[in-house]
């Protein structure tokens, strides 16, 4: 296993892949950009659909196919009835008229709102209906209140951040142990650790459930938090890879100053490893925030649910209210997206991921 991509030679290489300053390369770059833009469009459409559906009301949701912009038909009141407005063409003249009645053969009766007495019978398909933007922000507070968002949020934050603290604490210690010391069988231990990545979680899931059940921890947040204090293979691996890149001279200097190994970890290694610690913390946040399986099996009563479980149940109860479901989903995906934009460099430059190479 080689170290992380921190050496300059590696980062430079990305610039060169197809390059060369020729017409051919310009063509390649143009095609690349076009393909990337098309794909990006496909990726963004579901987000647009999510947002637009989340601010529609009942009538707007019945539009089929659903417009990606939340619009509603513009209406006008005629004889106490709300009638849809159309741009109507009569003898080449365009005017605004309301459709008051459908007639056979795809025709309709149109009237001028200022002169409702005179009707015109015209083909509806030839006229264009008037629409305007209509956004129902109130869906958000209503959806959040219905799903008891606050309680779910508190539980999710507890699980996420207490778990994160446990993970950072235990994984730093273990990664330090695996990166800075020689000891018999330590390599075997490290291989054992790595092999647990490949272990399907199901083989340990049921007895772990039984264990937590015996401890009386089922239907509390503890089964989701406590195991984080016992380190996990992914994060130990990533942290160890990073620790290996920190020069040993720093340790030696600390040792000469009389620092114990624990002090060396706290005052030398951890400050140096901040980028790696931030990375694993972010990935843990995403994992814990989105996790569904374990909260589903461990948390039975609604007051202990996390957002993932609460949202799933909310959908089961309010499936017809797609606008509420989408509003709640939008709120649920917001924190990961904000975090993603704040910590973009960690994702887009793969600061930590290169550890997997070889």
Which member of 74, 119, 245, 354 binds another protein (CB under 8 A)? Answer: 354
Which member of 162, 231, 277, 299 binds another protein (CB under 8 A)? Answer: 231
The DSSP bridge partners found for residue 133 are 71
| 9-68 positions binding another protein, by CB under 8 A | 9-20, 24-25, 28-29, 32-33, 35-37, 39-40, 43-47, 49-50, 53, 61-62, 64-66, 68
Cα 261 from Cα 271, distance rounded (Å): 15
| 109-168 positions binding another protein, by CB under 8 A | none
- Provide the token pair at 294: 């374990």
Nearer to another protein, 116 or 335 (CB): 335
Q: Does 206 bind another protein (CB under 8 A)?
A: yes
Instruction: Give which of 277, 280, 278, 257 is closest to 269, Cα–Cα.
Output: 277
Nearer to another protein, 94 or 337 (CB): 337
Q: Site size for another protein, by CB under 8 A? A: 113
Q: Does 204 bind another protein (CB under 8 A)?
A: yes
Which member of 125, 188, 198, 248 binds another protein (CB under 8 A)? Answer: 198
Nearer to another protein, 12 or 248 (CB): 12
Task: Residue 318: count other Cβ atoms within 10 Å of its Cβ.
Answer: 16
Per DSSP, 246 falls in state S
106 contacts 123 by C-beta, under 8 angstroms: yes
Q: Which residues are within 8 A (CB) of 335 and not within 5 positions of it... i.e. 6 or more apart? A: 289
Which member of 161, 217, 318, 340 binds another protein (CB under 8 A)? Answer: 340
| 87-116 positions binding another protein, by CB under 8 A | none
CB of 68 to another protein, least distance (A): 7
Instruction: Give which of 161, 96, 140, 195 is closest to 324, Cα–Cα.
Output: 140
Q: Which stretch binds another protein (CB under 8 A): 89-97, 134-142, 209-217, 272-280?
A: 209-217
Binding mask of the shown chain, residues 275 to 294, with x at each position contacting another protein by CB under 8 A: -----------x---xxxx-
CB of 126 to another protein, least distance (A): 22
Distances in Å between the Cα of 188 and the Cα atoms of 192, 198, 340 are: 6, 16, 36
Q: Does 344 bind another protein (CB under 8 A)?
A: yes
69 contacts 52 by C-beta, under 8 angstroms: yes
**Cα 257 to chain center, whole Å?**
46
Q: Which residues are within 8 A (CB) of 88 and not within 5 positions of it... i.e. 6 or more apart? A: 94, 95, 96, 97, 110, 120, 122, 127
Nearer to another protein, 76 or 339 (CB): 339
| 234-263 positions binding another protein, by CB under 8 A | 236, 255, 258, 261
Cα 323 from Cα 56, distance rounded (Å): 6
Nearer to another protein, 249 or 341 (CB): 341
């Amino acid at each position: 296993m080689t170290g992380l991509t921190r050496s300059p030679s590696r980062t430079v290489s990305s610039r060169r892949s197809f390059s060369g300053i020729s017409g051919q390369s310009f063509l390649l770059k143009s095609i690349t950009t076009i393909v990337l833009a098309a794909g990006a469009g496909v990726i963004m459409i579901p987000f647009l659909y999510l947002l637009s559906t989340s601010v529609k009301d009942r009538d707007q949701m019945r539009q089929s196919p659903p417009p990606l912009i939340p619009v509603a038909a513009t209406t006008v009141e005629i004889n106490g009835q709300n009638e849809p407005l159309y741009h109507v063409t009569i003898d080449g003249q365009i005017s605004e008229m309301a459709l008051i009645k459908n007639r056979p053969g795809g025709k309709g009766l149109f009237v001028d709102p200022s002169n409702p007495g005179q009707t015109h019978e015209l083909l509806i398909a030839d006229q264009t209906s008037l629409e305007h933007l209509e956004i129902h922000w109130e869906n958000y507070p209503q959806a959040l209140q219905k799903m008891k968002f606050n309680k779910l949020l508190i539980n999710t934050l507890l699980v996420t951040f207490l778990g994160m603290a446990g993970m950072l604490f235990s994984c730093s210690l273990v990664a330090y142990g695996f990166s800075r010391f020689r000891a018999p069988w330590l390599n075997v231990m490290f291989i054992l650790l790595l092999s647990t990545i490949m272990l399907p979680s199901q083989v340990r899931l049921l007895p772990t459930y039984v264990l937590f059940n015996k401890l009386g921890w089922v239907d509390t947040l503890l089964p989701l938090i406590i195991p984080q204090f016992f380190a996990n293979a992914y994060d130990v691996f990533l942290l160890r890879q990073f620790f290996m890149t920190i020069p040993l001279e720093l340790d030696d200097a600390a040792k000469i100053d009389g620092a114990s190994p624990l002090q060396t970890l706290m005052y030398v290694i951890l400050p140096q490893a901040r980028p790696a610690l931030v990375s694993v913390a972010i990935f843990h946040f995403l994992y814990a925030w989105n996790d569904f399986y374990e909260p589903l099996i461990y948390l039975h009563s609604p007051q202990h649910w996390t957002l993932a479980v609460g949202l799933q149940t909310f959908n089961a109860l309010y499936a017809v209210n797609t606008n509420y479901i989408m509003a709640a989903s939008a709120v649920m995906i917001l924190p990961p997206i904000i975090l993603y934009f704040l910590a973009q460099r960690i994702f887009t430059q793969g600061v930590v991921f290169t550890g997997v190479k070889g």
